[in-house]
């Protein structure tokens, strides 16, 4: 399977369990890996034969910036479901980093992998 990577997408949203986390938006870093077949796009050189990752990035941005999840796990799940709405995507991996979530730790992250259901 071929892959498309969207790495280091820096977005801000309300995220967290504790009241002090929910007072202001926080920055997250998001990596998305899309499994898809790029054979046809490689031959035709036509955007219609691949995943339009620019449009997908805009959809993810809108989803994240308008969300108010408590857990980064739930946010990652929502992003994965959104990515799997794209018909050409068969599998998706989503990593959500929450820099500064813990003192003395550069980041805390979750990574999930989901597949299209038949």
Structure tokens at 46: 């036509």
The full DSSP string for 98-117 is EETSSTT-SEEEEEEEEE--
CA proximity to 16, closest of 104, 101, 105: 101
- Catalytic site residue 58? no
Query: Looking at 57, 58, 88, 98, which residue is catalytic?
Result: 98
Sign of the CA dihedral running 3, 111, 60, 58 = negative
Which residue numbers are catalytic? 98
């Amino acid at each position: 399977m071929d892959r498309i990577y969207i790495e280091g997408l820096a977005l801000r949203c309300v995220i967290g369990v504790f009241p002090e986390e929910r007072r202001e938006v926080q920055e997250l870093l998001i990596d998305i890996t899309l499994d898809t077949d790029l054979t046809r796009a490689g031959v035709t050189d036509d955007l219609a034969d691949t995943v339009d990752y620019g449009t997908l990035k805009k959809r993810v941005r809108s989803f994240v910036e308008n969300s108010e999840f408590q857990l980064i796990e739930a946010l990652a799940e929502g992003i994965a479901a959104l990515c799997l709405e794209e018909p050409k995507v068969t599998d998706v991996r989503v990593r959500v980093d929450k820099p500064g979530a813990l003192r003395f730790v550069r980041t805390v992250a979750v990574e999930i992998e989901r597949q299209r259901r038949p």
